[in-house]
Amino acid sequence: MRSSVFASMVFALGAALVIVPAGPSAAETLVPFTAVLNGAQEIPPQPSPSQGVAQVLLVKETNMVCYRMSYSPLAGAEILAHFHGPAAPSQSAPVLVNISPSPTPLGSPKHGCVQFTKDQVKLLEKGLLYLNVHSTAATGGEIRGQVFPAKGVKYSKVPAPASPSSAFLD
């Protein structure tokens, strides 16, 4: 049952990532990343029943990072979600950018865009950032997923939508 729920989340999330160019003729370079989230990646590992996926898209010209994240029910109510770094998969790191409760509401699915600095973009490109979802059952973090470049997927000079994230978020 759990694997079919996870497969459905992956399919739904992947289907939502179709970028339909629209708007002005300006172009953006889009760089995709992915993460699989679960309790086993937490430090220390958590016995969470939840698992999830995230798609992250970097707009190279502006350092804007857009994300879509979906996960199965947590053991407790979500408190926070954010990007952490720099850290390898076996390391912990401080919060770099909050994604909930603001700019996205608590709960799954969530999506939005956040501004990264040039240094944060370098860490993202090196695979040194992770997403973390905290809950009332695991205040230090219930599920975590290292954000890695999506191998074999490239977008280059895609005509820009009306706003940098509108095609990604619709």
**Which pLDDT value is given to residue 78?**
95
pLDDT band per the 50, 70, 90 thresholds, residue 163: low
pLDDT band per the 50, 70, 90 thresholds, residue 3: very low
Distance CA 145, CA 161 (A): 29
**Which pLDDT value is given to residue 11?**
36
pLDDT in tens, 19-75: 433 333 367 889 999 999 999 999 999 999 999 999 999 999 999 999 999 999 999
Q: Tell me the residue type at 10.
A: V
**Which pLDDT value is given to residue 20?**
37
Q: Is the predicted pLDDT of residue 8 greater than 70, yes or no?
A: no
Q: Cis ω on the peptide bond leading into residue 94 (within 30° of 0)?
A: no
CA 16 vs CA 55, 98, 123, 130, 141: distances in Å: 10, 22, 26, 21, 26
For the whole prediction, is pTM greater than 0.85? no
Contact criterion met (CB below 8 Å) for 74 and 47: no
Q: Which residue has the higher pLDDT, 3 or 112?
A: 112
**Which pLDDT value is given to residue 101?**
86
- Any residues with CB less than 8 A from the CB of 148 and at least 6 apart, and which? 33, 34, 35, 127
Residues 136-163 have a mean pLDDT of: 80
Q: Is the predicted pLDDT of residue 129 greater than 60, yes or no?
A: yes
Percent of the chain whose predicted confidence (pLDDT) is above 70 = 74
pLDDT band per the 50, 70, 90 thresholds, residue 103: confident
Q: Where are the domains of the chain?
A: 2-169
